[in-house]
A = this chain, B = another copy of it.
Amino acid sequence: MKKAAILSLFFCIIFVTIRAESGYRLWLRYDAIADPQVLDSYKKSISGWMIGGTSPTLAVASEELQKGLAGLLNGQVIRVYTPSDGTIIAGTPSSSQLIGSLNLEGELDVLGEEGFIVRTMTVNDKKTIIIAAGGDIGVLYGVFRFLRVLQTNSDISNLQIAEKPALDLRILNHWDNLDRTVERGYAGFSLWDWHKLPDYLSPVYSDYARANASVGINGVVLTNVNANALVLTPEFLVKVAALADVFRPFGIRVYLTARFSAPIEIGNLKTADPQVKEVADWWKEKAREIYSYIPDFGGFLVKANSEGQPGPQNYGRSHADGANMLADAVMPFGGIVMWRAFVYDNKIPEDRAKQAYNEFVPLDGRFRANVLIQVKNGPVDFQPREPFHPLFGAMKQTALMPEFQITQEYLGFATHLVYLGPLFKECLDTDTWCNGQGSTVAKVTDGSITERELTGMAGVTNIGNEINWTGHPFAQSNWYAYGRLAWNTNLTAEQIAEEWIRMTFTQNTDPVKIMLTMMMASREITVNYMTPLGLHHLMGKDHHYGPAPWVNEGRADWTSVYYHKADTEGVGFNRSSTGSNATGQYFSEVAEKYDNLATCPEELLLWFHHVPWDHKMQSGRTIWDELCFKYSRGADSVKWLLNEWQKIKGQIDAERFDHVNDLLAVQLKEARWWRDACLLYFQQFSRRPVPEEIEKPEHSLEYYMNLKFHYVPGI
C-alpha cells in the first residue's frame, strides 16, 4: 500500500509538471501551498466555510472561496451550515443571519458597500473567521482579500482586517477598437469578440472580470477614446449589454466612449453643438436607450477637441458645455461623465505642457456634480518620467481623476520588464502644496483635501487576447499594481510587488527577493536608457517604437526636437520663468523648486531647463557626461536584470522562466539601441567625447536614423 501511495503521488507530480504554465491564471493560481508547515497550520485553522445569501455576487464569492480553498489547501474544504471551530463565515448582515447577529452594522456602515471586515472572531463559542461587508460586493472583495492572505502564506491566527476603497471609481480604460485592434495595445488584440457577441460569451470575459474584482477594479470603459459612434447603436449596444451582464456579479460597471459628433454620424442631425436643443435631446434619448439595455450603465468617457477628435470647441463652446450636456443626459440614470483634460493644439502658440491647465482651470466650478475631469499623471503624455500634472490641486471645485497608462506605450511595449508601481506612486506621493504641505496628488484625488462628490482613478489597460493577457509575464504586475493602488493609494510599490510575486510565482525567499529587487529597479533603469534627466518624447514617430530624437518633421508638437531642444549650447526645454513658464502653473513651493536650476530635481532637469552642456551636476560630472553615464548605466542595468534572472532558473516553471528570459534579451538589445542612438544624436550638439569607459556604439547614427519599421503593433 505504501508503494501505491508513492506511485500515485508520483502521478500527481507528473500532472503538475505537465500542466502548461501559460500565465493565463494570473495571480489567482490557487496552487497547493508548498510549505508543509503553513499548509498544516491552515488545514488546522480552516474546517469549512459558509456564505449566507444567493445573489449572483455572493454566488461568485462562494465559487471563489470554494475554488481557492480547495486549491490552496490541496483538497476540498466543505461548505457547512452551522459554524464550528475553523469555519469561515461570509456574508452581509442582511444575507447572513449569523453575520447579522454580530453587531457589526456600525463598523460596516463606515466601510460602505464595498468595504469589508476579515476578522478572527468567536461566534457561538467557536473560533471562526468572518468575512463581513455591508454589501454583497464587499463580501466578494473580502473573499479575495482573505484568499490573498493564504496565497501569501500569512498568519491567520488572529486576523484583524478592515478595508474600504480609497476611491469610488477604479476604472480600466480599454483603447479597443470595434475591429479588435487596440490602440497602444501590445498583447495581441481586443478581448471583445464583437462578432460573436452577444450570443457567445467566452469564459475569458468572466475570468477577466474576476481578475479585476480580485484587485477591486469596479468599472471598465470598453472602447477607445478615439471613439467610434457605432458602439452607441443597437447593433453594438446589445453586445455591450451582454458583457455588462457577465461583469455585473463581479461588481463591474461598463462605460463607453462617446464620440462627440455621434448626433451627426448616427443621429442624422446636422450639428453636434451642445447648445442646440436637438443635440442635447438626442443625447438624452440616447442615454435612455442605453439604459434600457444596461440598467447600471456607468456613463461616458470623452476625448474631445484633442488630436483630431470632435468636441464642443468645434462650435465655439467650452469643455464644460460639452461635458455638462452629456452629464445631464446620464444624470437621471445615475451615470457619470469622465471628460479628459488631455487637450493640446499645435495652432495654439504655447508650450504643449501648459495647455490643459490653461484650458481647464478657468472652468473650475462649472462642471456638473457627475462629471470628473480625467487628468494624465503628467502634463505631456505618459513619458517614462514626467513631473505631476499642474491640474492636480488647481481645480478645487471640480472632481479630478488621475489617468495612468498601464500599457507600456512609452516604456518598451510588452517586451520590456518595467514595473510601474514606482511610477504610479511617484505621482500619487508628490506634494502639490495646493493646500499647504502634505497635499499630495493622492490626497487631491481621494477627496481628503477637498470634499468631493466623486473620486476615481483611470488606468489605460495593457490587456489583450494573448494567452497570458499582457504579453510580458511581468506586465501582469502593472495591471495588479494599478488596481491595488486605486483601492489603497497608501500601499507602497514594494509591498504590492511582493504580494504579486508571491501569488504569481513563488513563496521562496530567495527568488522573491531577486524578483522584487529587479522589479523595484526596473522603472528607473528604463528611464535611464530611454529618457534620463528629464528628457522626454524621443521615441519613433507614430508607432513610438524605439529611439528617434531626430524626428523634426510634421506637426511640431509631435516631433522630438520640440521637446529636447538640443543645440550646441545645451539641451532641454526651458519651461522656467525665463522660458515657457510652465513652472508657474504649480503652487509656489513647487514652482520655485522646479524653476531654479539649482533646486530642480536632476531627474526633471531637462524637462524644465535648457542646460548648458558643461553644467555641473551633483555627481561632479558635466551634464553631457552625466547623460552618457545615465544612458550607459540604463543599458548595463538590463544586463544586470538578465544576470539576476538566471538565478531564478529552476525556481519557477520553465515556461515562464524562458519567456521572461527571451524578453530580457530583447530588452537588452533595445536598451543598447536607445543608448547608442541617443548618445550619437546628442553628441552632434554637445561636440564632446563620450567618456572612455562607456561601451562604443555598434552602428553609426545614420544607421539608426535609417531604420524603418512596418506594422508595429498598437496603432
Interface of A toward B, CB cutoff 8 Å: 1-2, 4-5, 7-12, 14-16, 18-20, 22, 24, 32, 70-71, 74-76, 178-180, 188-189, 194-196, 199-201, 203-204, 230, 235-236, 413, 415, 465-467, 655, 659, 662-663, 665-666, 669, 708-713
Contact = CB atoms under 8 A, between A and B. Distances in A.
Contact of A8 (B8, B19, B413, B467): B8
B194 A711 contact: yes
- What 8 pairs between A and B have smallest CB-CB spacing? A5-B5, A1-B1, A4-B5, A199-B666, A178-B711, A8-B8, A1-B2, A15-B15
Contacts of A71: 18
A180 B189 CA distance: 9
A10 B665 CA distance: 42
A76 B17 CA distance: 12
Nearest to A24: B20
Nearest to A466: B465
Contact of A14 (B76, B204, B708): B76
Contacts of A663: 200
Specify which of A195, A203, A669 lies most central, judged by the most chain B CB atoms within 10 Å of its CB. Answer: A195
Contacts of A8: 5, 8-9, 12
7 contacts: A2-B4, A2-B5, A11-B74, A14-B70, A20-B24, A180-B711, A189-B465
A199 B466 CA distance: 17
Given A189-B188, A710-B178, A713-B195, A200 B415 contact: yes
Contacts of A75: 7, 10-11, 14
A236 B188 CA distance: 19
Nearest to A199: B666
B199 A662 contact: yes
A273 B75 CA distance: 71
A189 B713 CA distance: 12
Contact of A230 (B20, B199, B710): B710
B196 A666 contact: yes
A201 B71 CA distance: 32
Nearest to A20: B24
Nearest to A196: B415
A200 B14 contact: no
A465 B76 CA distance: 35
Given A12-B8, A200-B415, A235 B465 contact: no
A180 B186 CA distance: 12
Contact of A195 (B5, B74, B203, B712): B712
A188 B235 contact: no
Contacts of A4: 1-2, 5
Contacts of A230: 710
Contacts of A16: 15
Nearest to A22: B24
Contact of A12 (B15, B76, B467): B15
Q: Which of A179, A200, A466 has the most CB of B within 10 A?
A: A200
A16 B20 CA distance: 13
A709 B239 CA distance: 13
A179 B711 CA distance: 5
B200 A666 contact: yes
Nearest to A201: B662
A60 B75 CA distance: 36
Nearest to A179: B711
Contact of A711 (B76, B195, B201, B466): B195
Contacts of A1: 1-2, 4-5
A207 to B, nearest CB: 9
Contacts of A196: 415, 666
A711 B203 CA distance: 22
Nearest to A710: B230
A671 to B, nearest CB: 13
A199 B665 contact: yes
Contacts of A7: 75
Given A178-B710, A199-B415, 7 more contacts: A11-B74, A18-B71, A178-B711, A195-B713, A196-B666, A200-B415, A204-B467
A11 B14 contact: no
Contacts of A195: 413, 711-713
A466 B71 CA distance: 27
A669 B5 contact: no
Given A12-B8, A415-B200, A708 B666 contact: no
Nearest to A715: B179
B669 A199 contact: yes
A665 B76 CA distance: 34
Nearest to A14: B70
Nearest to A25: B20
Contacts of A659: 200
Contacts of A666: 196, 199-200
Contacts of A235: 708-710
A16 B708 CA distance: 48
A511 B4 CA distance: 32
A189 B19 CA distance: 25
A209 B355 CA distance: 53
B710 A662 contact: no
Contacts of A669: 199
Contacts of A11: 12, 32, 74-75
